[in-house]
Copies of this chain bind each other. A is one copy, B any other.
Amino acid sequence: MRDWSRDGTARDERVAAGRVLARGKAVHRDDAAKLLEALLKPGDRVCLEGDNQKQADLLAEALTRVDPAVVHDLHMVQSGVVLPEHLDVFESGIAKRLDYSYSGPQAARVARMLFGGKIELGAVHTYLELFARYFIDLTPHVALIAAVSADRDGNLYTGPNTEDTPTVVEATTFKNGVVVAQVNEIVDRVPRVDIPGDRVHFVVEAGRPFYVEPLFTRDPGAVTETQILTAMLAIKGIYAPYAVKRLNHGIGFNTAAIELLLPTYADRLGLKGEICTHWALNPHPTLIPAIESGWVEQIHSFGSEVGMDDYIRARPDVYFTGADGSLRSNRAFCQTAGLYACDMFIGSTLQIDLAGHSSTVTTSRVAGFGGAPNMGSDPRGRRHPSAPWLKAGREADPDAPAPLRRGRKLVVQIGETFGDGNVPLFVEKLDALNLAEKLDLELAPVMVYADDTTHIVTEEGVANLLLCRSPAEREQAIRGVAGYTEIGRGRDRAMVERLRARKVIQRPEDLGVDPLDADRSLLAARSVKDLVHWSGGLYAPPAKFRNW
């Protein structure tokens, strides 16, 4: 006779062991490591909350202090490998296996530890994909999460950085798991219930805010004229003809430049109300001028952004906010929105090969994926039409019978032909392939695959890959906008001119864009201080962005 509640019994035993250290649900921060020793069993799947923004940093530090003789070989299933502590636990043997999504700041150390066999790699995911596995085969036994405040019943208030928390908690608590929350403070009444208390087993008062990285802030002062030019080409060559209203912007100066050109350049083109009205986007400070100029209908966000809280609170018609007035972000829903409800994803990358595959990996850095592959993929399950989507579908397959022809999501890669430190954007072979060989990975870490990429924008022009009819045309379309890089110099000039005649490649002059007009005076804001002015003093940039 099988016992059908073994997991439930085990959960009850874990909770009972933890209760010894608790007053109600509250455990003192000095006992955090002891609590984890009481709750965790060797081999447990553990989600230590942390993504590209918020971090359960107190619990991360506590996990490094448990006794490896008691707690070892954990299987970490978490969005972000961002803090040193996230990797320290692998050095000490507390953790063994890793399934994750993003590791920006730790990319080099992750690579070293993978080479050194210090980490048993499950897979690198996109956020939504990892969340999906939380409900199927990577369900956490224990979740260590972060919130702003808790009441005595364990009701949690996440504030603007709700992010992954509801998803992590749902997968864990409803599958016999244990949820431990670090909170900045314990209060009598939370301003808003982001997580109901009956899903939370323990609360640790940190006495200080959890760490948040201002990852989506770009200083307009650092936007170059080449980036302004690529922004002009993108607006005139893609945003306008496809009339893209629902979209997501990746991180970077190229897309920041586009945001800063909406109230100026795009406005003069008469595009207000015609493009960029509905967004799946974090609260980018560089979008403030466009919002203030009435360009933006609404924005749903994955997470929040440091310094934007007061501004968001004063713009409830634009952002999703709670009764308390602050942002309610949600990474799972925003990624879903980016996948299925947006007509365009545009972002920058490190390397693009001759087929159009792109990657942000170098042989010494394993940065992970984050959300780009999800947003930057064509959702084959989509069934609702929209003008941009149908136009892209027609261009890709003009001869197919219309009612059986799906549209295509616009997936745009934008960048300068030579990036930071004059490193060429275009390469014969992605470093991701060398990395896959070195690490013996079954898949190379490709950020956006060639068959999903529809356009490439550089200062030399816009390549529309939807209009290419053969791999050879595709390669020449890419070489045709690769400038003076080796890839660009290797172009077949005759074929490139033929492609240009077919508008597969469009030069600035073909689009009526004069590179000499690409001037910083086109930027709606030229500095972080300008952004503060645009916001009516509501945007409070982090210290490192205050140069006045």
A363 at interface (Cβ–Cβ under 8 A)? no
A70 at interface (Cβ–Cβ under 8 A)? no
A274 at interface (Cβ–Cβ under 8 A)? no
Which one, B199, B342, B369, B381, contacts A374 given CB within 8 A?
B381
Which one, B129, B280, B383, B443, contacts A124 given CB within 8 A?
B383
Contacts of A451-478 to chain B: CB distance below 8 A: 451-452
Stretch in contact with the other chain, from A32-40, A56-64, A401-409, A519-527: A401-409
A317 / chain B contacts, CB cutoff of 8 Å: 4-8, 176
A210 at interface (Cβ–Cβ under 8 A)? no
Which one, B136, B318, B322, contacts A342 given CB within 8 A?
B136
Q: What are 17 inter-chain pairs, A to B, with CB distance below 8 A?
A: A7-B317, A124-B383, A124-B384, A132-B337, A137-B245, A137-B246, A193-B197, A193-B199, A198-B323, A369-B383, A377-B379, A377-B381, A380-B380, A390-B442, A401-B433, A403-B442, A406-B443
Contacts of A227-246 to chain B: CB distance below 8 A: 245-246
Contact: A170 with B328, CB < 8 Å?
A: yes
CA–CA, A9 and B2, complex, Å: 57
A294 / chain B contacts, CB cutoff of 8 Å: 2
CA–CA, A442 and B323, complex, Å: 40
**Beyond A317-B6, A374-B381, A381-B126, is A139–B298 a contact (Cβ under 8 Å)?**
yes
**Beyond A132-B340, A246-B136, A404-B444, is A380–B452 a contact (Cβ under 8 Å)?**
yes
This protein's copies in its complex: 2
A490 at interface (Cβ–Cβ under 8 A)? no
A187 at interface (Cβ–Cβ under 8 A)? no
Contacts of A125-163 to chain B: CB distance below 8 A: 125-126, 128-129, 131-133, 135-137, 139, 155
A68 at interface (Cβ–Cβ under 8 A)? no
Size of interface on A: residues with Cβ below 8 Å to B: 98
A256 to chain B, nearest CB (A): 21
Contact: B383 with A129, CB < 8 Å?
A: yes
Which one, B8, B174, B199, B403, contacts A437 given CB within 8 A?
B403
Query: Which 7 A-B residue pairings sit nearest by Cβ, starting from the closest?
Result: A123-B384, A132-B340, A377-B381, A193-B196, A403-B444, A377-B380, A132-B341
Which one, B126, B339, B404, contacts A446 given CB within 8 A?
B404
A278 / chain B contacts, CB cutoff of 8 Å: 136-137
Instruction: Flag A399-421 by CB within 8 Å of B: 1 or 0 each.
Output: 00111101000000000000000
